[in-house]
């Protein structure tokens, strides 16, 4: 079986990362990505498909204890109420606003990122949103 290597273009100066979303086809499909901002800060984000038209991205950092939301990104989304669920204490977040609506950090937000179309098929650009 041939090995496929995908060359990622260099992100623009305000981009955190360019991420391959081509495998995120169904609601709840998600992947981690590493990012680096303009000041050199690094972190890990999550890119998640909410529905056929919507991809969201956020910092993989729960506002309750400041830990990753979960090691398996495919288990972060609960389709019953379209919530992101932290694996540690099950806090539930709205994927569009990042607001914790149920759980131990109610009223706090995930750090949401902007997602826009990238420079190639299936690629998206992730940037800071400036909101949270
Ligand atoms: S660490 Fe996420 S709900 Fe407690």
Q: Give the H/E segment covering residue 3.
A: none
Domains of the chain as residue ranges with CATH: 5-128 (2.102.10.10)
State the average pLDDT over residues 14-33.
95
Degrees to nearest 5, angle at CA 119 with 115 and 120: 105
| Ligand 1, residues at Cβ distance < 6 Å | 62, 64-65, 67, 86, 88-89, 91, 103-105
Find the 86 Cα to ligand 1 centroid distance in Å. 6
Whose Cα sits closest to atom 4 in ligand 1? 89
The span from the first CA to the last CA of the chain, in angstroms, equals 44
This prediction's pTM: 0.88
The predicted structure's pLDDT at residue 104: 97
Structure confidence at residue 14 as a pLDDT band (50, 70, 90): confident
Find the 89 Cα to ligand 1 centroid distance in Å. 5
On the question of pLDDT at 2 being above 60, the answer is no
Mean pLDDT taken over the chain: 89
pLDDT tens column, 74-132: 999 999 999 999 999 999 999 999 999 999 999 999 999 999 998 888 999 999 876 54
Q: What is the DSSP letter of 109?
A: B
């Amino acid at each position: 079986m041939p090995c496929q290597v995908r060359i990622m273009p260099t992100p623009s100066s305000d981009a955190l990362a360019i991420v391959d979303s081509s495998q995120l086809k169904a609601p709840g499909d998600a992947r981690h990505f590493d990012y680096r901002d303009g000041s050199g800060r690094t972190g890990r984000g999550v890119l998640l498909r909410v529905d056929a038209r919507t991809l969201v991205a956020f910092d993989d950092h729960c506002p309750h204890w400041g830990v990753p939301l979960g090691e398996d990104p495919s288990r972060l989304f609960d389709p019953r109420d379209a919530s992101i669920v932290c694996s540690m204490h099950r806090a539930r977040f709205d994927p569009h606003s990042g607001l914790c609506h149920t759980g131990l950090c109610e009223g706090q937000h995930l750090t949401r990122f902007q997602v826009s179309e990238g420079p190639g098929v299936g690629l998206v650009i992730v940037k800071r949103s400036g909101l949270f």
